[in-house]
A = this chain, B = another copy of it.
Amino acid sequence: MAIGVKALPFTFVVHALAIVGAILVLVWCIDFRGGLAWEASNKSLIFNLHPVLMLIGLIIIGGEAIISYKALTLRKEVKKLIHLVLHAIALILGIIGIYAAFKYHNESSIANLYSLHSWIGIAVISLYGIQWIYGFVIFFYPGGSTGLRSESLPWHVLFGLFVYVLAVGNAAIGFLEKLTFLENSGLAKYGAEALLVNFTAVLTILYGAFVILSVASQGPVEDDYSYSAI
């Protein structure tokens, strides 16, 4: 499905949106929501870790991991290492971010795992982990046979993008869920905070779209036209 344009300009957009997205979620959770804490009597500060770690970790660093083959002009082996290390960081931050949500719920006597956001979240982090382990074993160490690698690669790309799109969609669901709770508790529906959260969600979706666009476009070297370098 490769489109006939260079990926590099799209990857610049990804980097720019990454910076803006990280700033927006920090401004929301620190300036508007009171800050971040692992232990606190104000349990909301524990919750605030959740959107920060999920957006900056799973979505932003995960997105940069995905586009590493298209964004960088390094040797394939180096890009592969960057790809798997960034994904590992994204996965670990995602797990800590999900743990923070459970910690907040448990310490505030809020029910766990009843919402669609939590269901999809558990599915995403599980599939992300499975995808990472499969990728590591087949493409890095010890590595599958040439036949298995070349058969696996399009599925690795397709399944990886599926999990990533699910993660981005679930981030949007999470922003809406939290904002709906806040609006039910009296937050102004057209106020500054509501607009900030909605714009952060829209930017997250755009970030995901440019990640996909980068993958669908042509990489910096000729062998990127084929699957072999994805």
Bound Cα distance A154, B5 (Å): 11
Q: Is A202 an interface residue (CB 8 A)?
A: yes
A16 to B: closest C-beta gap in Å:
19
Are B115 and A157 interface neighbours, CB within 8 A? no
Bound Cα distance A213, B155 (Å): 10
Cross-chain contact of A3 among B155, B175, B177 (Cβ < 8 A): B155
Are B216 and A158 interface neighbours, CB within 8 A? yes
Are B3 and A1 interface neighbours, CB within 8 A? no
Tell which of A37-45, A90-98, A162-170 binds the partner: A162-170
Q: Is A103 an interface residue (CB 8 A)?
A: no
Residue of B nearest to A119 (CB): B198
Contacts of A17 in B (CB 8 A): none
Cβ proximity bits A51-62 to B, threshold 8 Å, 1 near / 0 not: 000000000000
Cross-chain contact of A216 among B1, B169, B173 (Cβ < 8 A): B1
Bound Cα distance A185, B147 (Å): 56
Cross-chain contact of A189 among B111, B166, B172 (Cβ < 8 A): B111
